[in-house]
Amino acid sequence: MSVVLPMTSGPDRATVEQLARRARLLSWLSLLWMTIEGGVAIAAGIVASSVALVGFGLDSAIEGFASVIIIWRFTGHRIHSHAAEVRAQKLVAVQFFILAPYVAVESIRAVVTGERADPSLAGILLAIGSVVFMPMLGIAKQRIAEHLGSAATKGEGRQNMLCAYLAGALLVGLLGNALVGAWWLDPIVGLLIAGVAVVEGREAWRGEGCCVQAPVAPGAAEACCADDHTAKCTRLAPPTTRL
């Protein structure tokens, strides 16, 4: 039995390019913030012997690289390239998997050895800033991703939201250690960072939650995709020839 899929119209070329510019701008903002956040977190983590802070700083570095990937994805002819979208999606996903092993091993080591992190005022202030700023970037990117049909952009937005959640957990751990001496909260937060990174990486690799509306071959009349157990087709504009 054949299934009739609903037809939806995708954004035109001019709209895609406008959305791409917004995606690049948001990624540049992310890259700037992640550079500052990562440097401060790693330095403060080393000083305080905090595996959670160092892990958070490494996460910032990885997210910064994801921003570079999105800037590359939406520059020049790659704006309209399905191959570039798929490549960017996979590269963003890999960033999650790079983070998890290091943080997990260091967190387990801290629990086994009983190594205690010192209180860190710089870490606390940094975590507060990330809790406030990261959700704004993440939500904006995921909205643009829905319009563009870009799993790579949505993956980067998820990383920003993950950063916000982990910043909140990091804040709890740092405050618990500073106020009541709950040193064990620090490695637990580190393990949380590792676990969530693996889950988010798997989703980003599969492109879950975002329908990539791009022709699978030059000259295709329409493209269909599955998104959250529903299917839809997008009427595609005829390809243009670049001179």
- Alpha-carbon distance of 116 to 18, in angstroms, equals 50
Within-domain flag for 164:
yes
CB 96 within 8 A of CB 159: yes
Average pLDDT (11-36) is: 87
Within-domain flag for 235:
no
CB 99 within 8 A of CB 62: yes
Burial of 1 (0-12, 13-18, 19+ CB in 10 A): exposed
CATH number where 208 lies = 1.20.1510
- Alpha-carbon distance of 200 to 202, in angstroms, equals 5
Kindly give the pairing relationship between strand 222-227 and strand 7-9.
unpaired
Within-domain flag for 24:
yes
CB 154 within 8 A of CB 145: yes
Tokens of 229: 């157990």
Instruction: Check residue 117 and give its pLDDT.
Output: 63
**What total of structural domains would you count in the chain?**
1
Within-domain flag for 236:
no
- Alpha-carbon distance of 58 to 67, in angstroms, equals 14
Within-domain flag for 238:
no
pTM equals 0.67
* Domain containing residue 85: 12-213
Within-domain flag for 47:
yes
- Judged by average pLDDT, the poorest of 3-17, 46-60, 82-96, 226-240 is 226-240
Q: 232 forms bridges with which residues in the sheet?
A: 225
CB 155 within 8 A of CB 178: no
Instruction: Check residue 207 and give its pLDDT.
Output: 66
Instruction: Check residue 204 and give its pLDDT.
Output: 73
Q: What is the rounded average pLDDT for all residues in the chain?
A: 74
Within-domain flag for 218:
no
Which residue matches tokens 């599969």? 206
Q: Which residues of 14-47 are buried (b: 16+ CB within 10 A; e: fewer)?
A: eebeebbebbbebbeebbebbeebbebbbebbee
Q: Could you give the count of Cα atoms lying within 13 Å of 175 in the half-sphere of its Cβ?
A: 11
Higher model confidence: residue 199 or residue 187? 199
- Judged by average pLDDT, the poorest of 83-87, 116-120, 210-214 is 210-214
Within-domain flag for 243:
no
Instruction: Check residue 31 and give its pLDDT.
Output: 92
Kindly give the pairing relationship between strand 7-9 and strand 230-235.
parallel
Which residue matches tokens 């809790």? 131
Instruction: Check residue 1 and give its pLDDT.
Output: 44
Average pLDDT (80-102) is: 81
